[in-house]
Structure 1
Amino acid sequence: MKSKEEQLSVCWHFNAGHGALIWQLMFTETGDLIGQKRFAASRRSLFFCIDIVTGRVIRDDYLLMDHLHPVPAGEGWLVGLETTLGNLVYCYAYNSQSPEHKGIWAIDFRLDKVVWSRHDIVFAANLDHEFLVYQLSVFGGFPERHFLLINPFTGENTQTLGLESASVNAIRQEVVPEEERQQVILPCFVTDEMAEERMTLQRASISKTARCECIIRGPLTIVALHEQGKSDLWHSYLNVWRMNSLVYEDSMAEGIEKPSLNNFLIRCDNLYYLKNKEELVCVALS
């Protein structure tokens, strides 16, 4: 095992509050982490903003408000994060009767300002210089989508594309996945076909890989181990190995009904993971 001086260290941590479930994380190009936290007991969904370098909480308990009326958007619960661009974060709401997203809010969390918002469009894709969006209508009893391109910094229309077409599909084919845009590496479950990952885990003395999620990044192997006890409750542990040496470990959750899946990621030189659903921890990997 690595000596104490060689262990990875925690940069910062953020506690979302008692009873919170950290639900979404996104990153801006200007160095902020934006998160959504949900409180099921009170059916409240709130947002927070953290400076990635210092861990300083820039904004917390941010409640998204309706475009037109002084009430919470999506009943204060049915909201989420869509994408980011530059310093802006784009949020959405949706109806309880439909999974279809509704509206776009462009927010500068550092300035605590809604730069623009529109209730008449639905986000489809981030093209960096433009957004592909659509407007819903009904013709002959069937829903139709009318596609537009808009300026992501002003919300203004730049081009009308019309109904679903070959040109719209061509635009969609060129869209960069959101995790790639935000330079995020997500974990994957280790299967029998993943020979390299299995060999790496075995080198780290992990033989039972069926309940492992992992990310391999250079000499580092980040592993979430999910184990089920005799009482059928789950325990999820996070281990970071550098070759054969364990350089960081922590418990993500203990005694829970479901394993804590997909609760860690890497962005640049930092590891981010959730602890007990309501705490976000940032660990420096270099």
Structure 2
Amino acid sequence: MPTAVTHQAIPTTVTEANLAEVNRLLEQCEPQEILRWARAAFGNGLYQETAFGPSGNVITDMAGAEGLNIPVIFVDTLHHFRETLDLAARSQQRYGYTLHVYRPEGCSTEAEFAAKHGPELWKRDEVSYDYLVKVEPIRRAYRDLGVTAVITGRRRSQKGDRASIPILEIEPGTGLRKLNPLALWSFSRIWAYLRANEIPYNPLLDQGYKSIGDYHSTLPTPPDGDERSGRWSGSAKSECGLHKDYFAMRAAFLARKKAVA
């Protein structure tokens, strides 16, 4: 859609009271204009959070083309596909942004994680696995880096819990701002942008994957399935924990920990 407003016309102080109006204005902007607004609104507290999926790669390219110098946070769960780790290195080399890599606390390899928490924890205790490899590392990153706003690649066309996400959210309880500049884009539009701009992308996309997470819980997307239907096949799960209620996730993890103590 044509940009109807410029980022200068959107309030840079966002509260619960004006959030709906800010979102109304942001929906009239192209993603590049949204990113320019976010840089002005959140300054050095703004980071991109990505696992180098298609949407994240588009955002990284847009931010680079605009000269916005937005640092990137990557949570290495220690269970990523090798292709994902290779892409992370290629992306950082191409765009030159500051890359902050966070891993499960006290672990630097999958073997160390298994030795500390037991083999295949995702099968035995999915709640604890998600908390340990994703939720705890990203929250540690937020604290260490002074993050006040994060850019994500979530889109409504991904369905599930994302089907109605706004462009900007305020996380209850923490006040963290979550920006979804591609919320209105379809996968086909993402793919067209990737190809047109020759952006590095995960080669698994060429093998039928549309959404790529940990190797043990990611399959090629069924031809008739939603974009994320290759994730956690056979379960009702649609989010890994990064974008679920943090306090609920932490409470559930602590309850599990207490039960086995």
- Regarding TM over 0.5, the answer is no
| TM-score bin, normalised by smaller chain | under 0.3
Which structure has greater strand proportion? 1
Which structure has greater helix proportion? 2
Q: Considering only CA atoms, is the larger Rg found in Structure 1 or Structure 2?
A: 1
TM-score normalised according to structure 1 size: 0.24
TM-score normalised according to structure 2 size: 0.26
